[in-house]
Amino acid sequence: MDFELSQDHKVLRDSVREFVEHEVKPIARQIDEEHMIPDALVAKMADLGLLGSYLPEELGGAGMDLLSYILVVEEVSKACASSGVLISAHTSLCCGPILSFGNEEQQRRWLPDLTSGRSIGCFLLTEPDAGSDAGSIKTSYRREGDDFVITGSKIFITNGGYRGTGIVFATSDRSLKHKGISAFIVDLTTPGVEVLRNEEKMGIRGSYTTAFALDQVRVPAANLLGREGEGFKIAMDTLNGGRIGIAAQALGIAEGAFERALAYSKVRKQFGAPICDNQAIQFKLADMHARIEGARLVTYRAAWLKDAGKNYTLDSALSKMLASEAATFVTKEAIQIHGGYGFICDYEVERMYRDAKITEIYEGTNEVQRVVISKLLLADR
């Protein structure tokens, strides 16, 4: 059992870390305040291969493994969670299902534009009345000649504001529940696709979280992903893998906040000594580090299991739950260590605290993860 990263993984981690230090970290506050990631930064991330890390080289990807993707999201999220989730949602929620369920023609048609950053991908599943209960979606489709026609609404769509490529889920018959759902690859500039708004949010404010109206959107039959009626299966499989990406984002947020809190504790003096000399601060640092390391081990293991073709459902849910709860705990404690300074925007832990909370919510709340975990544990009862 070897817990050491390979040399290739270390080289990747260090190169992404250097990129983040020079290109992402200096503008992280600007991204938060302006509620957008500059197109120039997105282009630089694409040029570095960060938008297609584990996709095959023949499809424009970097040809790496899933752990490499996790390291990318983790390192970027240490400085800017908005940029981290752009990469995560784009890669695992859009590129991932096309790679796993798309035919060769679909892969060659869509993935090169996605991996190059010419198109930014998203995943259109959630609706006003269908979040975790994905089988209750109301967006409908019907067949008309060589097209499918989709009508409905979607909300909380990460990366939706780019109007790039979307994996859209719709039902042919609501009475069939999950068995009536199909998935479609949709160019979001297609007539009938309307952006209603990009949400104003507490955290990850540089990431677009978009509401869409879909009015008689015509999609070529060739854009059906998988077979009709397989949409729910595609959605669940995609979310299962996507949770590892969210765990990596949460892990990065926690690490970024811990690094800043640790450094601050060494230079901030009270009563004539650095506050890190106080046992109360030492206890906080120890607890923060323990939460991070536990989350890291489970997250890396989940990625390893998926790479190895093993069942990773339990570890995916565990990693998302543990890493996201570590992120909220660590960022809260980081603010506490900073004291009053942690509450003002000049110190990055304030932003990280706001960014962390969403990791407990999206791609299935942690209550959902606990249901998944408990069902798997009780399966052989």
- The residues that are catalytic are 363
* Amino acid (1-letter code) at residue 357: K
Tokens of 95: 């590129």
d(CA 113, CA 185): 13
| Listed residue (165, 142, 132, 168) closest to 153, CA to CA | 168
Number of CB atoms found within 10 A of residue 34's CB: 12
* Amino acid (1-letter code) at residue 19: F
Start-end of H helices in the chain: 7-19, 28-34, 39-47, 66-79, 81-88, 96-101, 104-115, 231-267, 279-307, 313-338, 349-357, 366-377
Helix (H, G, I), strand (E, B) or coil at 270: strand
Specify burial of residue 309 (Cβ count, 10 A radius: 0-12, 13-18, 19+): exposed
What does the chain come to in residues?
381
Buried b (16+ CB within 10 A) or exposed e, 201-236: bebbbbbbbbbbebeebebeeebbbbeebbbbbbbe
Q: Which residues pair with 169 in a beta bridge?
A: 183
> Which DSSP state fits 5?
P
Please give the backbone phi and psi of residue 35, each rounded to the nearest 5 degrees, phi first: 60, 35
Q: DSSP characters for 321-337?
A: HHHHHHHHHHHHHHHHH
> Which DSSP state fits 193?
E
Q: Which residues pair with 147 in a beta bridge?
A: 144, 220
Asked if residues 13 and 71 have their Cβ atoms less than 8 Å apart, the reply is yes
Asked if residues 330 and 322 have their Cβ atoms less than 8 Å apart, the reply is no
